[in-house]
Structure 1
Amino acid sequence: MTKRSTCRLAAPAPGTGVQLRAGGAPLDASVAEAAADWFTRLHGGAATEAEKKSWSQWHDAHADHARAWQHLQSITGALQGLNADGVGYRTLHAAPASASRRRLLGLFVGVGTAAGASWIVTRTPQWQQLAADYRSGAGERQRHTLPDGTELLLGTRSAVALNFARPERRVRLLQGEALFTTGHPPGELGELPFVVETAEGRIRALGTRFTVRQNSGKTQVAVFEGAVEIHPVDASPGSTPLRLDAGQVVVFERTHAHEPGAAGERELAWSQGQLWVDNQRLDDFLVELGRYRSGWLRVDPAVAGLRFSGVFPLGAEGGVANTDAVLAMLPSSLPVQVRWRSHWWVKVEAAHAGSH
């Protein structure tokens, strides 16, 4: 392997607890650096036959080399080859070589397995940005057509990563919510099962239209056409998947699914540019509204428990939700006032006597 300029990774400082790992075991920094260098070179698309032969010799020279390579392959699998316009693809493949190697080297820090990589992707904003093929910002709704013809609608602050390689068409919901209308392409691609993954498990589509929302420690699924099968990731071995039919909604955790309920307009409201409120506490409402805007949004504890109902318009698809207008409507429904220091700093307080 010829020498080239690389990003040097310093040895972990004593007492910092930082440890390079791959496959669940510690890894020497020089091996991680070499693996990142080879990965960048080979996936850049310009590797010569001589370089590929040199890589093969390096890979087979030591078990640690093969372990480091497999570690990178398993973690970056969602980024490879499918969507050349995706954020993750561009971030890893279009970045300068040194920057790309730095990102790859970071994948060895504190992550020993593919499951650990999944944890990073779903819990850390930086890795959500790296892994996502499609993502939306605060207050946005974005519509995309996937390679198999599936229609994808992303809600606010949402992100997905795609992997349509055999044995399935897999979409990983990294954060937020999405509406899927599955496609049925002819040929080999159409024969692959369509699966949505979240931190809590897998949802297999059975020719359907459905929504999936990633909450903290829970996933919500609502079906509007067809059916889905739900497999919690830590369900008891041999347990039967939950079948969810059109008109049903369910919340499931890593070990089990809750009792299904009736799905209706409330579950689809976000996809139609609406925020649906049904006897909801004001503080919970503002948490949800905060997903649609940036900045500081708080509520006075004196009015946090007030309950109300309503349907609030958020704006047209392709634009940014007008949350200021929603906040301005609150005093007409509740004895509150909205105090603005700026667009980025808003507090909802009790209305002054005589102001409501």
Structure 2
Amino acid sequence: MTERTVPIDRDIARQAAHWLMRMHAGRVPPTDQQACAHWRTAHPDHERAWQRVQQVQQKLGLLPTDLAMGTLNRERRHALKTLLVLATLLPAGYLTHQTISRQHWLADMRTGVGERGEHRLSDGSQLFLNTDSAVDLAFTAHERRIYLRHGELLIDSGTDKGPHAYRPLRVVTSQGVMQALGTRFSVARQDERALTRLAVLEGAVRIHTHTGATATLTAGQQVSFSSDAIGPHTKANEFAASWTRGQLAADGLPLSEFIAELSRYRHGWLRCDPDVAALRISGTFQLDNTDAILAALPHTLPVALEQRTRYWITLRRR
């Protein structure tokens, strides 16, 4: 076992994260600099943890040089420190943006894998977050913006109960801006394809891509769009909002698509073999118990579960 792979004690990792954040807090008094140096030399594990936490910072860019920690509120400072500690405890090879997302951890609102969130916003809108999702809010006197950083949301737009005159409500992704026209709609980031998927359940939504393409969708329509182009309008999936009720609904859905969707709600590796991928599945399933969903599949389809661990499951033909 090399020095790079020897586990770091959690308490020492917390201390290292504390000192790193202190050293990024703007003007650092000489007494703090001396105390940090003394801590580092007090034990070899301290210096090792310090080097690791600095590596995490450099790799993930958690503490930009132009950011003084004093500008962050207490909740975000706590989230950032927690992220530093967790990343420091990981083996060095796992320090990637895919493993840990700074934007996700520091978002105004977020959910973990398998979690869902419901929030009543200050303007009266109701915001739902699906599994593994994160949003930032930017409400000003002139507009209401919701930045979808990751995952999927559903918004039931309110009548703007704030003290200002009516402010447009907009949802922003990497591909464009969607403006609500008195509506209820869902937005999902499809980052692996560099697309945003919009489904309008009530009212209408106007799309502006970042390169200037525009379109307006009305209730019952959905579309996927990139930064450059807007795809064809199709009929919105009638089950688009079922996840807000804690359900995964399917009507003749190919098993491969069903498993891909289910995998979003659980940790680990979940897949099906190509020879069962085209099997069709229908029903309404409770997302709070994905293990029960998987256990029920062999009773309705000619499949068997090959389970190496709880987090590594493959569906094969029985």
**Structure 1 length as normaliser, TM-score?**
0.63
Question: What amino acid is the match of 1:348?
Answer: L
Structure 2 stretches lacking a partner, 5+ long: 1-26, 38-49, 52-57, 86-95
Question: Cα distance, 1:157 vs. partner?
Answer: 1.2
The 3 A distance-change label for structure 1 pair 3 and 307 is: same
What is the distance in 1 between the residues matched to 2:123 and 2:162? 10
What corresponds to 2:286 in structure 1?
A: 314
Q: Is the 8 A contact 1:312 1:326 kept in 2?
A: no
CA displacement at 1:306 relative to structure 2: 2.3
2:243 to 248, 261, 270: 270
| Equivalent residue number for residue 329 of structure 1 | 296
- Relative distance call for 1:258 and 1:293 in structure 2 (3 A) is same
Q: TM-score when scaled to structure 2?
A: 0.70
Q: Please state if 1:299 is matched with 2:272.
A: yes
Q: Please show how residues 139-150 of structure 1 align to structure 2 within 5 Å.
A: 139-150=114-125
In 1, the alpha carbon distance for the partners of 2:130 and 2:150 equals 10
Deviation at 1:159, TM superposition (A): 1.2
The number of aligned residues is 257
- State the identity as a percent: 36
Opposite residue 90 of structure 1, the aligned amino acid is E
Kept in 1, the 8 Å contact 2:110–2:134? The answer is: yes
> Using the alignment, how far apart are the partners of 2:28 and 2:121 within structure 1?
40
Q: Mean Cα displacement is larger for which, 182-191 or 253-262?
A: 182-191
Shift of 1:166: 4.4
From 249, 254, 259, the counterpart of 1:281: 254
Structure 1 equivalent of residue 225 of structure 2: 252
Residue of 303, 328, 342 corresponding to 2:309: 342
Q: Does 1:227 align with 2:204?
A: yes
Structure 1 stretches of 5 or more lacking a match?
Answer: 11-17, 22-31, 45-83, 104-119, 316-320, 352-356
CA contact (8 A) 1:335 1:350 kept: yes
Between the aligned partners of 2:79 and 2:237, the Cα distance in structure 1 is: 44
- C-alpha RMSD of matched pairs (Å): 3.4
Is 1:91–2:76 an aligned residue pair?
yes
Do the aligned residues in 2 keep the contact of 1:148 with 1:189 (CA within 8 Å)?
no
C-alpha separation in 2, matches of 1:277 and 1:95? 36
Kindly provide the amino acid, as one letter, of the partner of residue 206 in structure 1: L
AA partner of residue 260 (structure 1): H
Matches within 5 A, 1:1-356: 3-4=29-30, 5=32, 33=65, 35-36=66-67, 39-41=68-70, 43=71, 90-92=75-77, 94=78, 125-189=100-164, 191-216=166-191, 217-235=194-212, 239=213, 241-303=214-276, 305-315=277-287, 321-351=288-318
Shift of 1:151: 0.5
Looking at structure 2, the residues matched to 270 and 187 of structure 1 have their Cα atoms a distance apart, in angstroms, of 29
Once the 2 structures are TM-superposed, how far is the Cα of residue 188 of structure 1 from its aligned partner? 4.3
What do residues 48-71 of structure 1 show as CA deviations (whole Å, max 9, x unaligned)?
A: xxxxxxxxxxxxxxxxxxxxxxxx
